[in-house]
Chain A
Amino acid sequence: DIQMTQSPSSLPASVGDRVTITCRASQSISNHLNWYQHKPGKAPKLLIYGASSLQTEVPSRFSGSGSGTDFALTISSLQPDDFATYYCQQSHSTFYTFGQGTKVEIK
Chain B
Amino acid sequence: ETGVTQSPTHLIKTRGQQVTLRCSSQSGHNTVSWYQQALGQGPQFIFQYYREEENGRGNFPPRFSGLQFPNYSSELNVNALELDDSALYLCASSLGGGQPWLTDTQYFGPGTRLTVL
* A and B are partners in one complex rather than unrelated chains: no
Q: Which residues of B contact A (CB under 8 A)?
A: none
Q: Which residues of A contact B (CB under 8 A)?
A: none
